[in-house]
Amino acid sequence: MTNHEIKIAFEEYSTLAELSKADQNICNEAVRAMANSHSPYSKFRVGAALQLQSGRVVLGSNQENVAYPSGLCAERVALFNWGANHPDDPIQTIAITAHTDNFDIIKPVTPCGSCLQVMAEYEKKQDQQLRIILYCIDGPVWITQGVCSFLPFMFFEDRLVIQ
């Protein structure tokens, strides 16, 4: 038997003000993305903003549906928008934030497993890790490099790749 240990590293900042202006801007873009959230059922608004290598920003917000499985998370809305419209402009950073009037969010909200798997796919596609910023409005900010920090055993099968 062999024991293995997985460790992750991330930076934690107490407030948005501690970040660089560029990071503050992309976090504010994620907040702006929440304005287009369609979340009448959960009342849990999520915004995501992608900072592309060119400087372009791509936004996404969660889109719910009365048939719950038909909705889509903010992260995937932003990532699929990028994949459909800007696939040759690599993603450098994704910022994600959330808000609800129903309770206080006191720590950053992490992406769901489906969103992490899509993020992993796009890291592979662009052969470059994503810098991930999880922003808690009026609270802490977590920054990490790469989806492997959240999903160390992500699914990827090299033999399925089209040659």
Token pair recorded at residue 150: 């959240």
Contact 147, 120 (CB under 8 A): yes
70 in helix, strand or coil? helix
Provide the β-strand partners of residue 131. 93, 145
User: Residue 109 in contact with residue 134, Cβ under 8 Å?
Assistant: yes
Q: Kindly list the catalytic residues.
A: 75
Report whether 50 contacts 79 (CB < 8 A): yes
